[in-house]
Amino acid sequence: MKIICLLLTVIFAIVSSEPGLGIKNGHQPPLLINRPKPPSNPLRYRRSPEPQGSIVFQGQKPLSGPERRPTWNLDYQHNIYQGKNGQISAGGGALKLPGQHVQPHIGVQGTWRFRRSPEPQGSIVLQGQKPLSGPERRPTWNLDYQHKIYEGKNGQISAGGGALKLPGQHVQPHIGVQGTWRFRRSPEPQGSIVLQGQKPLSGPERRPTWNLDYQHNIYQGKNGQISAGGGALKLPGQHVQPHIGVQGTWRFRRSPEPQGSIVLQGQKPLSGPERRPTWNLDYQHKIYEGKNGQISAGGGALKLPGQHVQPHIGVQGTWRFRRSPEPQGSIVLQGQKPLSGPERRPTWNLDYQHKIYEGKNGQISAGGGALKLPGQHVQPHIGVQGTW
């Protein structure tokens, strides 16, 4: 009830702040004489070259368990400037957790992309936030700059840098470089290579970190693909860690009743104390698929180093209710059961979302569901959320 009252208060405040919606000093406005009639459209933020922003409210309340007090979050984003090359926005909100005071906060963020040309230059992003309550009220900010050195049909190379400031810590600058290259495009594509590196410029650990990854497409067709890959990871104070792997995906025949797909992934470290392979096999079988929903079942097996194969099965379904000017919502059911190991009891989750209102400028929906974990009672919950 408190959540609903708060939501109504926010909506009432927005309505009261709009010009032309109230009556000043208890008198009616003058008659319309040689003037156009005011618009009678429902309340919404005006769409203009200077967009105003949006407000989001979310609330949830458990219906069982030791903690049944509600949790809610209110967030407002105000667009100060928005143009072709970037945008600046400020925002604020409040978070309420069970047993804690309301935690308000404010923040600002901006993004700027440099001139658009055959050689794009990059972009800069600044984000900052400051809590208004609680024991820690010092601000946090992050500055990130990406500079595109080269961009072509087959790949790109970029360098970047930035700085992070956390409460009670010195500014932490960093620099880095990354590149991606795709090999020749042909009926048998060859793959791609990715290199990423980063080096902190302050702090106790300033040694660089880099990662090299190569993917080679062995086969690619209408129904699936097979690829192999390898690479190496270098962490500060550790030896280079090379690895190889293979993965494949196959989709069965395409028909009005699709059958599903199978995915196999495997990887083997080439150095380090643990060099045994890891692999995972997953199969998804579509039982039913229509305009309003789908039902599928699946199974698979996971093999970790030093452990037995862990098979599992599961079922999931999604159903959307009738499509109309007043959409009703959807229901989702997911369940899974391990077939080996010490814990073989099933886990399932049921979630229902009901759309109360949906318009051009926002939506309000309520939902509920239940979660069942092994060895625990069913945990039902309800919630409401809105965006304007």
pLDDT attached to residue 4: 44
pLDDT at 119 over 90: no
For the stretch 333-366, pLDDT in tens is 999 988 888 888 999 999 998 888 888 888 899 9
pLDDT attached to residue 233: 93
Banded pLDDT at 44 (limits 50, 70, 90): very low
- Annotate 308-366 with DSSP letters as a single string: --EEEEEEEEEEE---SSS--EEEEEEEEEESSSS----EEEEEEEEEEEE-SS-EEEE
For the stretch 272-327, pLDDT in tens is 888 899 999 999 888 888 888 889 999 999 999 999 999 999 999 888 876 554 54
pLDDT at 185 over 70: no
For the stretch 99-118, pLDDT in tens is 999 999 999 988 888 765 54
pLDDT at 121 over 80: no
pLDDT attached to residue 234: 92
Per-residue tokens: 336: 């899974």
Contact assessment for residue 334 and residue 347, using Cβ atoms and an 8 Å cutoff: no
- Percentage, residues of the chain above pLDDT 70: 79
pLDDT attached to residue 20: 45
Q: Average pLDDT, stretch 44-60?
A: 67
What's the chain's average pLDDT?
Answer: 81
The b-or-e profile of 306-315 (16+ CB within 10 A means b, else e) is eeeeeebebb
For the stretch 22-43, pLDDT in tens is 444 444 444 444 444 444 443 4
Which amino acid does the sequence have at 62? P
pLDDT attached to residue 281: 92
- Nearest CA-CA partner of 364 in 355, 373, 372: 355
pLDDT at 78 over 80: yes
- Annotate 230-292 with DSSP letters as a single string: EEEEE-TTS--EEEEEEEEEEE---SSS--EEEEEEEEEESSSS----EEEEEEEEEEEE-SS
pLDDT attached to residue 328: 66
For the stretch 190-213, pLDDT in tens is 678 999 999 888 888 889 999 999
pLDDT attached to residue 115: 63
pLDDT attached to residue 374: 92
Residue 63 CB coordination number (10 Å): 12
Contact assessment for residue 89 and residue 78, using Cβ atoms and an 8 Å cutoff: yes
pLDDT attached to residue 149: 87
Banded pLDDT at 47 (limits 50, 70, 90): very low
pLDDT attached to residue 52: 66
Which pTM value belongs to this model?
0.56
pLDDT attached to residue 279: 92
Sequence-ordered list of residues with C-beta below 8 angstroms from that of 67, at least 6 positions apart, any chain: 98
How far is it, in rounded angstroms, from Cα 116 to Cα 189? 30
CA distances from 17 to 45, 187, 387 (A): 11, 61, 18
pLDDT at 134 over 90: no
For the stretch 229-270, pLDDT in tens is 999 999 999 999 999 999 998 887 655 454 678 999 999 888
